Amino acid sequence: MKALKQNDFETAVVHFKESVDYFTRNSWVDQYRVITVLSSSKMCFREMGLCNIAFCYSQTGQAEKAKALYEEILEEYPDNGIAYYSLNTINTFSNKAD
């Protein structure tokens, strides 16, 4: 998050990918996050990490990578509002550029 706050999106992607990998390997930590890390967030940490990666892609001009990742997120987490609205935004701006 520190790299993200400093607009160092490339470094942030590296750390978010490490986080996603960790929670993919240790899904039980994410599943029981209320107990394991005292988080009652509706969105799991893996899902948050994927959204953060896609956001970083969009901030570094990698709209196609962001779009593809948001689409993947929606396949796995169909109720993810962040991915839904971000994908709509990317599509809107892509259509205006055509």
CATH classification of the domain holding 67: 1.25.40
Q: Can you tell me which residue has the tokens 């991915």?
A: 83
**pTM, 2 dp:** 0.84
> What is the tens place of the pLDDT at every residue in 23-81?
999 888 877 776 666 666 778 889 999 999 999 999 999 999 999 999 999 999 999 99
CB-facing half-sphere around the CA of 48: CA atoms within 13 A: 12
- Yes or no: say if 58 and 75 are a contact pair by the CB < 8 Å rule: no
Q: What is the pLDDT of residue 82?
A: 94
Confidence band, pLDDT 50/70/90 cuts, at residue 1: confident
Distance between CA atoms of residues 16 and 19, nearest Å:
5
Identify which of 28, 19, 26, 67 has the alpha carbon closest to the alpha carbon of residue 47: 19
Domain that holds residue 7: 2-97
pLDDT at 48: 94
